[in-house]
Amino acid sequence: MSLSGLRNTGLILFLVLVGGCASVPGEYRDPADPLEPYNRDMFKFNKAVDDAIMKPVAKGYKAITPEAVDRGITNFFNNIADVTSAVNNLLQFKLSRAGSDVGRLAINTTVGVLGFFDVATNMGLPSYKEDFGQTFGYWGDVDSPYLVLPFWGPSTLRDTVGLGGDAVVSPLFSLKENRVYWGLIALDAVDTRADLLTAGKILEEAAVDPYIFIRDAYLQRRRDQIFDGRPPPDPEAEDIWSDE
């Protein structure tokens, strides 16, 4: 996932909406998280960085940016993410979805002024934000070990490899030797974090163990995305419930 992909998956927002009971550390070691000691340390590191840098910057950005401009910037990066989505839908042979992505890109880039206005959604073209992590999952790598990346956050080994493909396919990759590239990357990161301020606050107040809450919700959502909202039953989850 690119930074735009992270926005579109809406990780923290989803973690709040998806619900679910957080476990108390030590009660159960999830086999999907064999690197839990490392992951917990990285989770603490990321939170410290977020509290010290990203959250204050995001709050300042939110305070000075008009809502219409904020929405337009979000739409701009969502439009760029449609390029990656179209490629991955083609790789998964989801031709109708790829067509929708291409249609969205054409309309929002032109009529929507480089994507600042999401005209395509109002015209009935849905957004399917697919990435290389989902493509790898589609072709068999479904249950990949959980991994917390420095500065990035929740991922899996599969999704981490997929990040490279997402970065190369993104139209921004052609600007990688230009200062504009890093400026856009920074803007995307700040805008994404600003959009998740409220959700992050609710998460901190609601979860007994934020680490497990985020991990389980992330893995559940990625599984749901890989199977387009119709995942098969999880045998491991069924075994857990049957043992109680």
Q: Which tens digits make up the pLDDT trace of 225-238? A: 999 988 887 655 54
- Which residues face 155 on adjacent strands? 147
Q: For the beta carbon of residue 156, count every other beta carbon within 10 angstroms.
A: 24
C-alpha–C-alpha distance, residues 225 and 220, integer Å? 9
**Both tokens of residue 113?**
């002024």
Residue 76, in any domain of the structure: yes
In this structure, what are the phi and psi dihedrals at residue 146, rounded to the nearest 5 degrees?
A: -70, 145
42 CB-near residues (< 8 Å, 6+ apart): 148, 149, 150
**pTM greater than 0.75:** yes
Residue 33, in any domain of the structure: no
124 CB-near residues (< 8 Å, 6+ apart): none
Residue 126, in any domain of the structure: yes
The owner of tokens 């992951």 is 39
Residue 240 pLDDT > 50: no
Q: Output DSSP code: residue 51.
A: I
Using one digit for the tens of pLDDT, what is the confidence trace for 161-216?
999 999 999 998 888 778 888 899 999 999 999 988 877 777 777 667 889 989 99
Residue 152, in any domain of the structure: yes
User: How many residues are present in the chain?
Assistant: 244
Residue 23, in any domain of the structure: no
Residue 10 pLDDT > 90: no
Residue 31, in any domain of the structure: no
Task: Give the H/E segment covering residue 115.
Answer: none
Q: Output DSSP code: residue 154.
A: E
| Dihedral sign (CA 131, 133, 136, 137) | negative
Residue 175, in any domain of the structure: yes
Residue 20, in any domain of the structure: no
Domain that holds residue 196: 3-12+68-229
Q: Count up the domains in the chain and report the number.
A: 1
Chain mean position to CA 214? 12
Using one digit for the tens of pLDDT, what is the confidence trace for 95-151?
999 999 999 999 999 999 999 999 999 999 998 899 999 999 999 999 999 999 999
C-alpha–C-alpha distance, residues 157 and 148, integer Å? 9
Inter-residue contact 240 to 216 (CB < 8 Å) = no
